[in-house]
Every structure is written in C-alpha cells, then in structure tokens.
Chains A and B, each alone.
Chain A
Amino acid sequence: MEPRPLVEDSFTRRVKALARTLPVHELDASKGQREGDWTRHDLRALALAAVDAVIDEMGLAYGATAAAVRARLAALVAAAAPDRSPAHAEQVAAAVLDALLNDRERREAFAIPYSDWSGPRHRRASLVFKLLEEIEAPDGTVVLRATDEAVNLFVGALDRDVEDAQAAAEAVLESQLRRGRIDQAVATAREARLRSVQFAGRVRRVLDATRRDLRQVDWGDDVPRLLDDALTHLGTRLDVERHLLATLRETLVEVADAAEAGTAQGAAQAGELVSLVTDCQSRHLELHEQLLGARSEFLAAQDRQRFAPAARVRVVDLSEELLKPVLCLPAAIGEPAATTFLVAALGAVPPRLVRLTELVDALLQPRRAVEEDAGRDDAPDLVALDGDPWRFAPQVWVAALDVLEPLGDAPARLSDLLADARRDSEEVAELVALTVLHAFAPEGAGELVASDDGVALEDPLFAGADLLVARPTARSVTGAPG
C-alpha cells in the first residue's frame, strides 16, 4: 500500500494560495528602499485596487489600459497623501503596476519557491504564476488583463472550483435576499460577476490556443468536456439569474417601500445589485454565443492548419540556444546566423518602387496657384551657416590628426594608420583614408605625400593600394612639384 502523504491536498492548495500573495507583500516591504517618504502608502491595498480596476473592465470586452489604471491609483494615492505632489502620486501608482506586471523580471512569471509535502517525500517546488499582463486588443490598444490567479487573489476564493463557487455564491445570495441582507448580497453578486469573467477567460484561452495551433489543445477529450460542462453550466446559470432578477425586482419594490419608511440606503444597493446581475447575465450570454461557435471554430482551424505549409518545430530558447552561442563563436562563424535572424525578425518589407503613373501625373500637373497671403508670415526655415558645413565632427578631426601626427620622413603603411584610427571609430578611419587619398592625388600642396608600391590593401571597408604615407621635412620636398 502506498504511504499516506504527510499532508492533505487542501493544505498544499492553501500554501500555494498564500505564496501567490507574496509579490504584493514584497511590494509593500519595498517602501523603505524608495526615494522619498513612502511610509504612508499602503501598497498592498493599492495593488488590490489595481487588480480591481483591471477586472472591472475585463470580460469579453477590450479592457483597461495601463494609463487608466495608473490614473485611478494616482487618485487613490493623492487622497491618502494630499500634501504630496501629483508627480509623487504617479510615481507610486507606476511602482504598483510595475510590481504586478513583474517588470523587474522583464514581465516573466513570478516563481515563488514553497514546501511541498504532498508527495512521498518533501520537496522544494516552484510556483509559477502571473498576476497582471498586458495584451493587445484587436483595435491595437494595449490593455491589462488579470490572470486567474489575480482574480482568485482578489475575490478571496483561493481554492475552489469555478462552477461550484458560483453555484454556492448564488445560493447564498438568494438566501440573503430572502432575509433582506442587501449589503452582503451586493458583495456576493460582485463575486459572482468576477467568476463569470474568470470562466469566460478559461474558454477564450482554449479557443485562442486552438486558432494558434490545434496540437496544443486536446480536442479529442478535454476541450469537448470543458465545452459541454460550460454549456450545461451556463444554461442553468442563465435560468438562475433570470429567476434572481425577477426576485430582485420584487425585492426592490419592497425595499423602496421600506425606503419611504427611512432606510433609503437599501434601495440604492438593491438597484446596484440589479445592474450587477444584469451585467453578469449579459456576460454569460456573450460567452454562450462564443461557446456555440466553438465547434465550427475548431473545424475551421483544423481545415486551415491541415494546409499549413511548414511543420512547426519546437520553440527555440533565444538566450541559451542563440544569443549565448553566437556571443561565444568567432565573429565570422556566428555572423550568418546573426544576420539571418536580423532579416527574418524584420519580416516582409515591400520593395520601394517609383510608381510611373504617379510620377508622370506629378510631373504633368499644372503649377499650383499660390494664394496671395499664403506663407507670408512664415519666417524662412533656414539657418545661417558660417562657411561650408563640415562632414566630420571636430573631435573626429582631432582624432584623425592624432593618428597622422607621428608621421615623419619614414613612410608608414595606410593599413597601419587605419588600424590605429579604428581604435577610435570607423568615422576616424574614414577621415584618415580620405586624407591619405587626398595626399596621393593632391589638388594643392599638402603636408603629406603618399605613394603606391603595388601592395594591395586588405580592409573591410576600403579597397585599393596599401599606400605608403610620409610627411617630408622642408628639405626633401624642395624638388617636388607644387
């Protein structure tokens, strides 16, 4: 018989749930290291507010942008510390969002080690999860999305099955309504909506993965079951919510009567509850439609991907399998791989062609009449220049002259000069080469003299002869032509 594990499953689940709160605690603990005084700010609460703000906009619609969430947080920060500058509030808001996105680790998932006693032996396991992530909405805006972990963390239902929790929440809601406990009913309805969002996310991810690559998803077994469950579930939920709404509207009438007797707050809350449940219901309905289309989506994906030309290979680890090897390899050997990557990463580039028809049209167009007043007030967009503009910056000249400075009667090779110059930069090398070329065919008398002895120059940038360069003293130049 197998030895009993040291702990029950629920214990491990709770340990993991607890570990998932760590990023938020670490954020709060980092206050001391921040510039300026952050002690007054409850970064834990702000993190929850951020997740809240994200979930509010989530669902089947696009979602909240980082800027919107930052603004919401900044408002909360400003309320907590009205004497601090708006810039400070924005700084705090940005820090909270950065922490939830794990910007410090370049947005990789959090990896929190924890003790796992659920197996035959104790082991240190790593819990990998994200809280928030940014995704592209179809219209190109980038919006935030809370992961299941974050949604769970937020609603506090840390270890429950989505469907059971929702059924339970609604049972609780109904009983609360009967007893007139509107306060708690509003809270429960909010949780119920969050669960709808969470459920929608699960189904959407499966459909996304299917569209991307059929093979990543088990359409033989897992997905059909998920879809069936979801459809059954949604069917009953829609019934329950219809019933709830009916009950609520009745309650609302009753509460309104009570309001006349002096308990006005209850009416407002019941109204809020109605809109919450209506929203929940519409989200369910949208999800329902998505589910009904799922199977045809699968068939379409199957058809399309069967014709996909290239067989997918496993995903390459960029750092370990490409970047590091190329860094270690000699330049000439790694270069083809590196440039292959460059070209492929930039994708398809349409060749830039002159369109003959447009060109002819443009050339044949009559001169446009200039309106009398047009441009009269505009100052000319010109800058006065003292003499010709210089092709090279002054310190490139200084560096190039430094290279040529030691030259005397004894000739030096151009290749050596270029090597010298390259220690500074390619630009300096270019200027040295041009100066030497000028000395070889001088337009006027120069200080330098260059001659060709037939040795070819081997250089990545310049071609020609490896010239001999010298700076003759006054005596030896006397016979030279001016």
Chain B
Amino acid sequence: MSAAALDAGAAAQLVGFGLTPRLRPAADPAYEALVARFDADAVFADVVGHVAGGLGLAVLDVGASGIVLAPAPESPFALRLSDYRANLSVHERLLHGLIHLGVAAYCYPTATSLADGDVRVCSVAGVERFLRDAATRLREQHGERDPDADAPELEQAWRLYLRRQAARDTADGRAGVSTTMAMVRYAMERLAEQGMLARTSDAEGGTYRALHRYRVEVRELAATQAYRVLAAAGTGG
C-alpha cells in the first residue's frame, strides 16, 4: 500500500475521532498518537484538512482535548433544526436559538473571555435568569407599550421571552416542556451530549462546566456565522 493511502486512512481515523465528541486523546492511545502526528507533521495535517474538507467539515482546532470539527451548512454532519426539536414554530425556533446565544454569552461575557483558555461554569437557572434579566431591562427601556396587534411578526424577541413562563409545575412533577427553564435545560443537555459542556452537579437546575471545545466552536464558527446572518438581516439583504 502506498504511503499516501496510509496517510489518508490515518487522517480519516482522526476525523472519525472528532465525530465522537466526548472521546479524549488521553483515553485512546491511537487518538493521542494521531493528534501528536498532526502537531508534528505538516503534510499529515494538510491531509487531515483535506479529508475533513471532503466530508464538508472544517478543522477548527487540534490539541490536548482532541480535534474540533465544524460542519459546513450542506454537510451531512450539520445538525438539522428538525433534529434538534421537531415541529417548531418561528417563535419557538427563535427562542431556542436565543437560549443558545444566552448560554454562550453567559459563559463568555466579553470578547476577551472568548479568547481565554480557562473553564467557565454555567447553570440552567443562571442562564434563565440571565436572559430574563436582559429581557426585563429591555422592557424598562422600551416602556410597557403593548405591541401592535396588526403586526405580530414585528413583535420583539424580548417580549416573546418574557411571555413564556420560567417554570410551571405539572401534576406529574415534570416542568412543562415549553417553559424557558425546560428549554434551557434541553439546550445544555444537548451541548453536553456533544462534548461542549460537562455536568458537574444538580445545583441550580443542573450546573455545567463549559469546555474548550465549546469555546472553540462558539468563537471560530457560531458567533461569526450568526453575526454575518444578523448583519445581512439588518441591511435587508
């Protein structure tokens, strides 16, 4: 077998490790060796970049916590919103997106904190309060004036958020699925599944550590992409 073919196989293996987000190089000697090789061997690193690129993935970071990949929008590895939660209305989609923005902004309050290297902590109740406070401040700024009944599509996001209850007790003891607490909890559970957060305790409705992978994904991809979409929306583009 040619050396190039072996390289391609090893590169694909490294990309495969990246798709098992909770696996760490320290837990798997083969993974560890591939990460070390990526660091030392520029040709191999290039092959990894191309293998990932062919699958519609970009390599965001390779280091002690593993390889961090980002899917291109059309990649088979990109999350479809319907896989996140099925049958969402526009308003619900907005709220779920807003909550993810809230988790990230809670963990990384400033641009500098996105560039740091430390571990941040967040909790379900903390993020919910954080978003509710932000929305409440906006209500104070904008006054209590009711939205136009004729143009519900022009209703601002903060109004929608405040209209949702934070929590609701149901007879069987579960929080209602449509409350903001439940939506934040769901967001954090999904992030934990993806190896972005790690649960530390049940305090505050679930307390998590925000890991390196999450910071990279937010900084290198999510924030930039969302910012571009927002800028385009702002200019009517």
Contact B191 A346 (CB under 8 A): yes
Q: Is A134's CB within 8 Å of the partner chain B?
A: yes
Taken residue by residue from 318 to 344, chain A's Cβ proximity to chain B (1 for < 8 Å, 0 otherwise) reads as 110111111111111111111111111
Chain B, Cβ-Cβ closest to A461: B89
Among the listed B38, B110, B157, which residue makes an inter-chain contact with A329, where contact means beta carbons less than 8 Å apart? B157
Tell me the residues in window 109-142 of chain B with beta carbons closer than 8 Å to chain A beta carbons: 109-122, 134-135, 138
Contact A316 B211 (CB under 8 A): no
- Residue of A107, A329, A425, A461 near B156 (CB, 8 A) is A329
- Verify A315–B114 contact, CB threshold 8 A: yes
Query: Which residues of chain B (52-80) have a CB below 8 Å from chain A?
Result: 53, 57-58, 61, 63-65, 68-71, 75-80
A354 within 8 A of B: no
CB-based nearest B residue for A343: B79
Does A426 sit at the interface, judged by CB under 8 A? yes
Q: Is the CB of A326 within 8 A of B101?
A: yes
Q: Find A331's partner among B53, B81, B91, B110 (CB 8 Å cutoff).
A: B91
- Residue A75 at the chain B interface, CB threshold 8 Å: no
Across the interface, which residues of B come within 8 angstroms of A336, CB to CB?
A: 229, 233
> Does the CB pair A338–B101 fall under 8 Å?
yes
Q: Would you call A26 an interface residue if the criterion is a C-beta within 8 Å of the partner chain's C-beta atoms? A: no
Task: Flag if B109 contacts A106 (CB, 8 Å).
Answer: yes
**In the complex, B45 has a CB within 8 A of chain A:** yes
Please measure, in the bound complex, the distance between the C-alpha atom of A443 and the C-alpha atom of B91, giving whole angstroms.
34
A-B contact count (CB 8 A): 283
Which residue of the partner chain, among B38, B41, B58, B191, contacts A309 with CB atoms under 8 Å? B58
Bound-complex Cα distance A315 to B80 (A): 26
Query: How far is it, in angstroms, between the C-alpha of A325 and the C-alpha of B92 when the chains are bound?
Result: 18
B194 contacts A349, C-beta separation under 8 Å: yes
- What is the bound-complex CA distance between A140 and B64, given in angstroms? 9
Tell me whether A347 and B119 are in contact (CB under 8 A): no
Quick check: B171 and A341 within 8 Å, CB to CB?
Answer: no
Query: Is B230 positioned at the interface, with any CB of A under 8 Å from its CB?
Result: yes
- Is A406 an interface residue when CB atoms closer than 8 A count as contact? no
CB-CB contacts of A384-415 with B at 8 A, as 1s and 0s? Answer: 00000000011110000000000000000000
Give the chain B neighbours of A138 by CB distance below 8 A: 24-26, 64-65
> A interface, how many residues as a size bin?
35 or more
Instruction: Output the least CB separation between B67 and chain A (Å).
Output: 10
Q: Cβ of B11: which chain A residues have Cβ within 8 Å of it? A: none
Encode contact with B along A290-314: 1 for CB under 8 Å, 0 otherwise: 0000001100100110010110111
Q: Are A344 and B230 interface neighbours, CB within 8 A?
A: no
B221 touches A (CB below 8 Å): yes
Chain A residue nearest in CB terms to B219 = A315
Q: Which residues of chain B are within 8 angstroms of A313 by Cβ–Cβ distance?
A: 224
Interface check A139, CB cutoff 8 A: yes
**Known interface pairs A326-B230, A330-B154. Does A341 touch B45 (Cβ–Cβ under 8 Å)?**
no
Taking CB atoms, residues of chain B closer than 8 Å to A323 are 98, 101-102, 105, 134
Let me know if B45 and A304 touch, CB within 8 A: yes
Give complex CA distance A330, B94 in Å. Answer: 10
Which residue from chain A places its CB closest to the CB of B151 in the assembled complex? A330
CA distance A321 to B104 in the complex (A): 13
Distance, CA A328 to CA B163, complexed state (A): 15
Instruction: Judge whether A325 and B77 touch: CB under 8 Å.
Output: no
User: Are A345 and B191 interface neighbours, CB within 8 A?
Assistant: yes
CB under 8 Å from chain B, chain A span 84-102: none
A460 touching B91 in the complex, CB below 8 Å, given contacts A140-B65, A326-B101, A337-B229: yes
List chain B residues, Cβ under 8 A from A351.
76-77
Is B96 touching A339 in the complex (CB atoms < 8 A)? yes
Evaluate whether A327 and B158 lie within 8 angstroms (CB atoms) in the complex, with A338-B98, A346-B79 already known: yes
- Residues of chain B lying within 8 A (CB to CB) of residue A427: 176-178
A-B contacts, 21 listed (Cβ < 8 Å): A134-B209, A138-B65, A140-B65, A300-B42, A312-B220, A316-B114, A316-B224, A323-B102, A323-B134, A326-B230, A327-B98, A328-B156, A328-B158, A334-B230, A334-B233, A335-B94, A341-B222, A344-B221, A396-B170, A425-B178, A460-B89
Give residues in A with beta carbon < 8 Å to B.
103, 106-109, 130, 133-140, 142, 145, 208, 211-212, 296-297, 300, 303-304, 307, 309-310, 312-319, 321-351, 393-396, 425-427, 460-461
The 7 closest A-B pairs by CB, nearest first: A338-B97, A460-B89, A303-B42, A139-B26, A138-B64, A344-B222, A133-B118
